[in-house]
Amino acid sequence: MSDPFAATDYHLVRKVLTEFLRSEVRRTGMERGILGLSGGLDSSLVAFLAAEALGPDRVTGVAMPYRTSSPESLAHARLVAEATGIELVEIEITPMVDAYFADRPDADGLRRGNKMARERMSILYDLSAARRALVLGTSNKSELYLGYGTAFGDLASAVNPIGDLYKSEVRRLSRLLGVPEAIVAKPPSADLWAGQSDEAELGFAYEDVDPLLRLMLDERLGEAELAAAGWDPAFVRRIAEMIRRSQFKRRLPVIAKLSRRTADLDFLYPRDWGT
């Protein structure tokens, strides 16, 4: 199958995304951006884009390792801060997370991972207020549609420059912006423990699922057409179900409608209202 992401104009994407960040940050009345810098590819790319859009002196990356995080992750976060010239703040989340779970020893990995993601979100939003810096999102399109993210955790942000780029495109754009190759080439990981890998957890590689997601989401091919194009129907069904089940993560909370105008339903104003 030919590479569906080769036709993307990455130079154009770079220009659009830097303009997006400048425009959407400044119209909130802020000049600065802040993001969680995990040492992974998505947040590294957002750091490079933000440094280019806002200027490195107006961007803060926050590395928030837990005791089981890979030491390589912190090293990579430092590498990105050094390469972009942005400020790096390091805050270890082990004390807060461990304090909470001290009385809940039976909590499983999912609960622990979600707690860590929300702990990081909570720190980012606190520093956002302290520095008058807008929280920049770092979730890519593949994760957003597969639901591979924590609601009100890593999915929380004010503006997200890469939410419409598949992981395969994130990788290509990262190379164009000069993200260090050690980061571009390593396997994606939520880094909840050393050696964790997204692809082992999901059971497939982004490079394999992204072309399917593109056909399903962007081209709107149906299951019969996908089967005719050679996609395994069981795999297609599984992905379709992941998309459906994670729809809530892509929407605001549902409000019970009572009045004539209800937030997000028939009280319809843009986010950028009056700016």
Partner 1 sequence: MTIRIALAQIAPYLGLPDRNRDLHLEQAERARAEGAELLVFPELSLTGYLLKDMVPDLALRPDAPALAPLLEASRMLDLVVGFVEEGPDYRHYNSLAYLAEGRVVHVHRKVYLPTYGMFEEQRYFTAGDSLRAFPTRFGRLALAVCEDIWHPSLPYLAFMDGALGLLVGSASPLRGADRAPGDDLPSNAAFWDRLLRHYAGIYAGWVAFCNRCGVEDGTSFWGGSRLVGPDGGLVAEAPLHEPALLVGELDPAALRRRRQAFSAVRDERPEVAFRGLERILRDRAAGVEAP
**Exposure b/e, 52-90, CB count within 10 A at least 16 = b:** bbbebebbbbbbbbbeebbebbbebbbbbbebbebbbee
Question: Of the listed pieces 36-44, 67-75, 175-183, 264-272, which binds partner 1 according to CB under 8 A?
Answer: 264-272
Residue 262 contacts partner 1 per CB under 8 A: no
If one counts every other C-beta atom within 10 angstroms of the C-beta of residue 127, the result is 16
User: First-to-last CA distance in the chain?
Assistant: 45
Residue from 1, 2, 12, 99 in contact with partner 1 (CB under 8 A): 12
Residue from 152, 217, 224, 275 in contact with partner 1 (CB under 8 A): 275
C-beta of residue 165 within 8 angstroms of C-beta of residue 173: yes
Question: Of the listed pieces 72-80, 114-122, 147-155, 263-271, which binds partner 1 according to CB under 8 A?
Answer: 263-271
Directed axis angle between helix 233-245 and helix 206-213, to 10°?
80
CB of 19 or CB of 241, closer to partner 1: 19
x/- letters, 144..173, toward partner 1 (CB under 8 A): ---------------x--------------
Min. distance of Cβ 164 from partner 1 in angstroms?
Answer: 8
Question: Of the listed pieces 5-13, 52-60, 73-81, 84-92, which binds partner 1 according to CB under 8 A?
Answer: 5-13
Residue from 9, 103, 106, 108 in contact with partner 1 (CB under 8 A): 9
Which of positions 21-40 make contact with partner 1 (CB under 8 A)? Answer: 23-24
Question: What is the distance between the alpha carbons of residues 134 and 144, in angstroms, rounded to a whole number?
Answer: 20
Question: What is the distance between the alpha carbons of residues 188 and 195, in angstroms, rounded to a whole number?
Answer: 10
Residue 3 contacts partner 1 per CB under 8 A: no
Min. distance of Cβ 69 from partner 1 in angstroms?
Answer: 31
Residue from 16, 176, 227, 228 in contact with partner 1 (CB under 8 A): 16
Question: What is the distance between the alpha carbons of residues 50 and 261, in angstroms, rounded to a whole number?
Answer: 37
SS (H, E, C) 44-97: HHHHHHHHHHHCHHHEEEEECCCCCCCHHHHHHHHHHHHHHCCEEEECCCHHHH
Which of positions 183-222 make contact with partner 1 (CB under 8 A)? Answer: none
Tell me, rounded to whole angstroms, the distance of Cα 196 from its chain centroid. 17
Residues that bind partner 1 (CB under 8 A): 7-9, 12-13, 15-16, 19-20, 23-24, 159, 267-275
